[in-house]
């Protein structure tokens, strides 16, 4: 008997012993002995969800959750599981009736996509694999890289662009700010911090609230972000921008970044991107564009030219979960030179060693391009939506939404008691109800806020509100691919009805 055999025997003997102590022969993990019941439950869930999609127009958009239903969420997790069947029953009782409602075509509040059936199925497939796309060499990572290449090409960014899918534009904007910071201050900033560097950045007053928050989170504080006034079309005033940059330079600050917006959240305005790009080039500033929903204009058969200039951006943030209809959440950061992202985020850790071959190959990993190490298979629902429907269909959704918005604006203009509060440049319509008698501003704002809540609580439609020029506006953002002109008419009817009811009490 050779020594090798002896040690082999010893090992297998101790493993056998351990197995006995572990009762390994009966251990099942979390999977059932056989899948018949679970399979049937899964099929039923699928049928239920397709039924739900088929009848989405017939249901209320939303209904408030009664306290008893809300109280269900207070219970602790069970020590002994109730089984997937009972868990699904609980979901049906407590979640389904009171969900957000953004798959419904009369959901017009905020900026929400309506979801897609292929996207829904992709969530199931991605869940089945439970892959981590932070790194390593596997197909899901290649698929995400393909989605990023498609996205860059869609916006006219060069092939050496890089990026990744993230939760949303909020995180994508933060990634852009950090990348621009490291680009300006050099890699040492990652070790030493900004050390009192007086970096300043510029965006318009119509910017989304997540942009100042990115400056807060990045450690600059939001005072370092100068809010430049907008013109009558809600676009950044370029003369004021130049003046602000010059004033900051004169005061010893270091301007480093301009954040343009392609599709402002209030009115859908698009900054003058070619002029901003030229200004950034002349001033040696990083040009980032928040195109959260506007990026999808690139696929529109008639409105793609509105995005002209976006191809000059150093980075672009946008969402697939808005106009592209991909189920939440799916945001995207693109940087025109992937090396800049790597410079800003890649690290070396012994337990994350990259190899030339094997599962640890495939560098750079996606975790080198952003703050997340563990990353889910978000890319699959984006890919499934894009591939199943094609980019033409998404472009037509963009155009259709803009046409419905024009229809809505025309209808509002024809109603004597309704007043349009902002020009309709894309798919966002802001208006208000004005009574036939004079009432104070505060009361008028309150009346319109109440009308919106009435319409939401009746389940008839779901507009939201915003402030336009100091006035509370009823805001309809038409992003759901199921929304038709008849839904816009239903919204106007619901608003007028709610107003009449309020005026009579």
CB 67 within 8 A of CB 443: no
Closest to ligand PLP by CB, 331 vs 370, is 331
Q: Which is nearer to ligand PLP, 285 or 317 (CB)?
A: 317
User: In angstroms, what is the minimal distance from the CB of 324 to ligand PLP?
Assistant: 12
Beta carbon nearer to ligand PLP, 428 or 447:
428
Among 265, 335, 404, 492, indicate the residue that binds ligand PLP (CB under 6 A): 265
Residue 284's Cβ-count burial label (10 Å; 0-12, 13-18, 19+) is exposed
Report 412-431 residues binding ligand PLP (CB under 6 A).
none
Closest CB 262 distance from ligand PLP, rounded Å: 8
Q: Is 263 in the site for ligand PLP (CB under 6 A)?
A: yes
Half-sphere exposure in the Cβ direction for 486 (13 Å, CA)? 2
Q: Cβ distance 105 to 57 under 8 Å? A: yes
Per-residue tokens: 108? 């017009």
CB of 359 to ligand PLP, least distance (A): 32
CB of 447 to ligand PLP, least distance (A): 27
Using the rule CB under 6 A, is 225 a contact of ligand PLP? no
Tokens of 215: 């400056």
Q: Provide the minimum distance between the beta carbon of 265 and ligand PLP in the complex, in angstroms, as a whole number.
A: 4
Q: Is 200 in the site for ligand PLP (CB under 6 A)?
A: no
Token look-up 């803009």 returns 402
Neighbours of 223 (CB within 10 A): 10
Q: Which residue spans within 193-345 are E strands per DSSP?
A: 199-204, 225-228, 254-261, 286-290, 315-319, 331-335
Residue from 321, 289, 322 nearest 306 by CA = 289
Residues 235, 262: Cα–Cα separation, whole Å: 9
Comparing CB distances to ligand PLP, the nearer of 242 and 464 is 464
Q: Two tokens at 47?
A: 């049928």
**What is residue 472's three-state secondary structure?**
strand
Number of residues that bind ligand PLP (CB under 6 A): 14
Question: Can you tell me which residue has the tokens 């890089």?
Answer: 162
Contacting residue, 102, 104, 116, 170, with ligand PLP by CB under 6 A: 170
CA distances from 108 to 2, 80, 460 (A): 77, 42, 11
154 versus 447: smaller Cβ distance to ligand PLP: 154
Q: Does 292 bind ligand PLP (CB under 6 A)?
A: yes
Residue 173 C-beta: closest distance to ligand PLP, Å: 7
Residue 399 exposure: Cα atoms within 13 Å on the Cβ side: 14
Measured from the CB atom, the residue of 369 and 499 that comes closer to ligand PLP is 369
Give the one residue of 271, 319, 368, 487 binding ligand PLP; rule: CB under 6 A.
319
**Interface segment toward ligand PLP; rule CB under 6 A; list 79-87, 258-266, 430-438, 485-493:** 258-266
User: Within 79-118, which residues bind ligand PLP (CB under 6 A)?
Assistant: 111
Stretch binding ligand PLP (CB under 6 A), from 4-12, 162-170, 241-249, 346-354: 162-170
By CB under 6 A, is residue 293 in contact with ligand PLP? Answer: yes
* C-alpha separations of 97 from 92, 101, 116, 276, 450 in Å: 7, 9, 20, 47, 23
Letters for 444-483 (x = contact with ligand PLP by CB under 6 A, - = none) are: ----------------------------------------
Q: How far is the CB of 287 from ligand PLP (least distance, A)?
A: 16
Q: How far is the CB of 207 from ligand PLP (least distance, A)?
A: 8
Cβ atoms of 473 and 430 closer than 8 Å = yes
Of 122-130, 166-174, 301-309, 484-492, the window that binds ligand PLP (rule: CB under 6 A) is 166-174
- Indicate the residue among 210 and 335 with the shorter CB distance to ligand PLP: 210
Tell me the residue number closest to ligand PLP, measured at CB: 168
C-alpha span between 114 and 223 (Å, rounded): 36
Q: How far is the CB of 310 from ligand PLP (least distance, A)?
A: 14
Q: Give backbone dihedrals phi and psi of 282, rounded to 5 degrees, phi first.
A: -65, -35
Can you tell me the distance from the alpha carbon of 259 to that of 201, in angstroms, rounded to the nearest whole number?
A: 8
**By the rule CB under 6 A, 169 interacts with ligand PLP:** yes
In terms of CB distance, is 418 or 424 closer to ligand PLP?
A: 424
Pick the closer one to ligand PLP by CB: 261 or 325.
Answer: 261
Alpha-carbon gap, residue 271 to 258, rounded angstroms: 11
DSSP string, 66-109: PHHHHHGGGSPPPSS---HHHHHHHHHHHTGGGS--TTSTTB-S
Residues engaged in binding ligand PLP (CB under 6 A): 111, 168-170, 208, 210, 261, 263, 265, 290, 292-293, 319, 331
């Amino acid at each position: 008997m050779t020594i090798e055999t002896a040690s082999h025997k010893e090992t297998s003997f101790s493993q056998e012993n351990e197995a006995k102590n572990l009762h390994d022969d009966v251990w099942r993990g979390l999977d059932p002995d056989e899948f018949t019941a679970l399979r049937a439950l899964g099929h039923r869930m699928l049928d239920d969800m397709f039924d739900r999609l088929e009848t989405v127009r017939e249901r209320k958009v939303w209904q408030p959750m009664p306290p008893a239903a809300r109280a269900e969420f207070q219970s602790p997790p069970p020590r002994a599981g109730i089984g997937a069947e009972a868990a699904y029953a609980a979901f049906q009782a407590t979640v389904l009736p009171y969900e957000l409602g953004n798959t419904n075509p009369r959901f017009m509040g905020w900026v929400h996509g309506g979801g897609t059936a292929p996207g829904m199925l992709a969530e199931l497939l991605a869940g089945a694999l439970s892959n981590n796309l932070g790194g390593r060499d596997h197909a899901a990572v290649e698929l995400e890289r393909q989605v990023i290449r498609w996205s860059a090409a869609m916006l006219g960014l060069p092939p050496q662009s890089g990026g990744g899918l993230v939760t949303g534009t909020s995180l994508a904007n933060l990634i852009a700010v950090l990348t621009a910071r490291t680009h300006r201050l050099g890699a040492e900033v990652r070790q030493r911090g900004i050390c009192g560097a007086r970096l300043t950045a510029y965006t318009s007053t119509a910017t989304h609230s997540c942009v100042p928050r990115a400056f807060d989170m990045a450690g600059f504080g939001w005072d370092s972000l100068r809010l430049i006034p907008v013109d009558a079309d809600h676009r950044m005033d370029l003369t004021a921008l130049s003046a602000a940059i010059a004033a900051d330079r004169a005061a010893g600050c270091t301007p480093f970044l301009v954040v343009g917006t392609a599709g402002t959240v209030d009115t859908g305005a698009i900054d003058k991107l070619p002029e901003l790009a030229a200004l950034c080039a002349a001033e040696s500033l990083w040009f980032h564009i928040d195109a959260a929903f506007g990026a999808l204009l690139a696929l529109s058969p008639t409105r793609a030219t509105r995005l002209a200039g976006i191809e000059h951006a150093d980075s672009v943030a946008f969402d697939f979960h808005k106009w592209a209809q991909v189920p939440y959440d799916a945001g995207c950061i693109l940087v025109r030179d992937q090396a800049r992202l790597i410079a800003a985020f890649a690290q070396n850790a012994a337990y994350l060693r990259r190899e030339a071959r094997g599962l640890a190959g495939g560098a750079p990993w996606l975790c080198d391009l952003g703050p997340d190490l563990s990353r889910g298979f978000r890319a699959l629902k984006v890919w499934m939506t894009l591939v199943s429907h094609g980019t033409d269909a998404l472009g037509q959704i963009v155009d259709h939404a803009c046409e419905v918005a024009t229809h809505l604006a025309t209808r509002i203009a024809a109603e004597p008691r309704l007043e349009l509060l902002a020009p309709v440049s894309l798919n966002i319509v802001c208006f208000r109800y004005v009574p036939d008698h004079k009432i104070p501003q505060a009361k008028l704002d309150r009346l319109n806020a109440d009308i919106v809540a009435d319409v939401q609580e009746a389940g008839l439609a779901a507009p939201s509100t915003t402030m336009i020029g100091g006035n509370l506006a009823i805001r309809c953002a038409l992003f759901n691919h199921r929304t038709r002109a008849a839904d816009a008419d239903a919204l106007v009817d619901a608003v007028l009805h709610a107003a009449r009811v309020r005026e009579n009490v």
